[in-house]
Amino acid sequence: METLIATSVLGLLCLAAEIFNGRKILAPLVILGLLAILVWNALAWNTNISYYNDMFRFDNFAVAFSGLLILFSVFIVVLGLDFYKEQPSHWSDYLSIFLFTLCGAVILTGYNNLVMLFLGIEILSISLYIMAGSNKRDLSSNEAGMKYFLMGSFASGILLFGIALIYGASGSFNLQEIQAASLHNPAHPMLISGVLLLMIGLFFKVSAAPFHFWSPDVYQGSPALVTAFMASVAKISAMAAFYRLAAIGLPSLMPQLEMVFMIVVALTICTGNILAMVQDNFKRMLAFSGISHAGYMLLALLSASLADSEILLYYAFAYGAANIAAFGVAITVFKFMKNENADAFRGLIKKQPLLAVCLIIALLSMASMPPLAGFWAKYFVFSAAIGKGYLPLVVIGIINSLFGVYYYFKIIAAMLLKPSDETAVTPPLSYVIVIVLCTLIVVALGIVPDVILSLL
């Protein structure tokens, strides 16, 4: 809970800095503050404390995922040093909104009450609606913000209706009491209806098919740094929330919901990979790639228990680090090439070998090439799924992973094989630091995966 309070206070300090004209100290204040919060968060390991009448539990699951989200947020803020340098008057606004978004994400990792789940989702979502449409002079950004707001509002309404039905059936918002009620009467029609509506709302938040339709347009239209934040912090926190619900609140209902999950997992994996193959816009391609990765992470939910959550943590770490590295390179290339298509990367290996190598490693990891972290992430998910009897889904996942190789290699081929033009690409030092660190994380996790798997 201290992590959540400290992050909120840091966001308020950003707003206060604007009032007192302290913009110059904002960046170091936020970066050092987040690193301090990261250390403070780690010190809460094995404490397992509950707060506010057991509405929020800061157990090891929450500590691990909160730490991961804080680390990724530090990377995003460092990238923002150059990304927003031409908008100094709004720098404090962007930082505070990023931090408040992180507050919502932290709530999602440790909630133990459906009211807290709703609050966390709304804090996260409302902040992202603003950030998606923050480039007010860009029509595509305005469109992205409006689409995200409208679709997200409908999803939140459905989710809230589901929570109301679950409360009507169980008499409680507490996850343990909902689990007890489901054990007592697992066929209660109001309970089943509420759980299905709640799942629809969460499927939307993680951009799972067939509730994925907002994701490509919003990713493409939003500022690239906001897209990177959505693809890493927002998606991982929503997935952690979904996993916590399945592992603590609904384990006895999972057998009844198994077919629904299996259909959604298969649709999500196929939709994401197949549609990514025909995309030329880089951000749109990564949006569909993110949809497919959501399908692989949802596959872990079919055998959800907090004892198995290290697989999801490892997958989230590998996926998030590769995504931030890829977006770090892409933002630099977009800035100089004035183009967001795959063709913008042509000849990058000659112009910026370091950036090209880092992007190749990130894309190969997302394509599940050994021995990188992305390979082991899918290996662990597939191994657990086979152990639970989901071999058909594993076969679908492996076949679709081959499709993924195709569209990732389109970018790699453009960097290595296409001739470069005369446009120079000069990355700021902050970008190089983040890109290299994320790439090293991807490589290191592939070499020593047990470091993460032994945490939970």
User: Is the pLDDT confidence value at 20 over 80?
Assistant: no
- pLDDT interval class at 330 (50, 70, 90): very high
Answer whether residue 181 is part of any domain: no
Please give the angle made by the CA atoms of 305, 307 and 310, to the nearest 5 degrees.
100
Answer whether residue 452 is part of any domain: yes
**3-class secondary structure, 253:** coil
Answer whether residue 215 is part of any domain: no
pLDDT value of residue 52? 83
Answer whether residue 317 is part of any domain: yes
pLDDT value of residue 367? 92
Answer whether residue 362 is part of any domain: yes
Q: Indicate the pTM of the whole model.
A: 0.94
- pLDDT interval class at 109 (50, 70, 90): very high
Domain of residue 442 covers: 253-456
Answer whether residue 45 is part of any domain: no
- pLDDT interval class at 67 (50, 70, 90): very high
Answer whether residue 146 is part of any domain: no
**3-class secondary structure, 50:** strand
pLDDT value of residue 140? 85
Task: Check residues 140 and 456 and name the one with the higher pLDDT.
Answer: 140
What are the backbone dihedrals phi and psi of residue 212, each rounded to the nearest 5 degrees, phi first? -100, -5
pLDDT value of residue 28? 86
- pLDDT interval class at 393 (50, 70, 90): very high
Contacting residues for 445 by C-beta, under 8 A, at least 6 apart: 314, 317, 318, 321, 373, 376, 451, 452
**3-class secondary structure, 27:** helix
User: Is the pLDDT confidence value at 137 over 60?
Assistant: yes
- pLDDT interval class at 255 (50, 70, 90): confident
pLDDT value of residue 89? 65
Share of the chain above pLDDT 90, in %: 55
Nearest to 387 by CA among 305, 303, 454: 303
pLDDT value of residue 22? 65
**3-class secondary structure, 51:** strand
- pLDDT interval class at 304 (50, 70, 90): low
Q: What is the mean pLDDT of residues 105-120?
A: 94
The secondary element (H helix, E strand) that includes residue 409 is helix 391-417
Q: How far is CA 57 from CA 4, 8, 121, 165, 246, in A?
A: 12, 18, 17, 23, 16
Which of 11-25, 158-172, 218-232, 399-413 has the lowest average pLDDT?
11-25
Distance, in Å, from the CA atom of 6 to the CA atom of 10, rounded to the nearest integer, reads 6
pLDDT value of residue 306? 54
Dmax over Cα atoms in the chain, in whole Å? Answer: 70
Answer whether residue 370 is part of any domain: yes
Distance, in Å, from the CA atom of 8 to the CA atom of 152, rounded to the nearest integer, reads 23
Count of domains observed in the chain: 1
Distance, in Å, from the CA atom of 105 to the CA atom of 266, rounded to the nearest integer, reads 27
Contacting residues for 107 by C-beta, under 8 A, at least 6 apart: 4, 56, 116, 117, 119, 120, 123
Distance, in Å, from the CA atom of 62 to the CA atom of 76, rounded to the nearest integer, reads 21
The CB-based long-range contact list for 428-431 (8 Å cut-off, 24+ gap) reads 428/81, 428/82, 428/332, 430/78, 430/79, 430/81, 430/82, 431/79, 431/82, 431/328, 431/331, 431/332
pLDDT tens figures, 164-205: 999 999 899 999 999 898 888 877 889 999 999 999 999 998
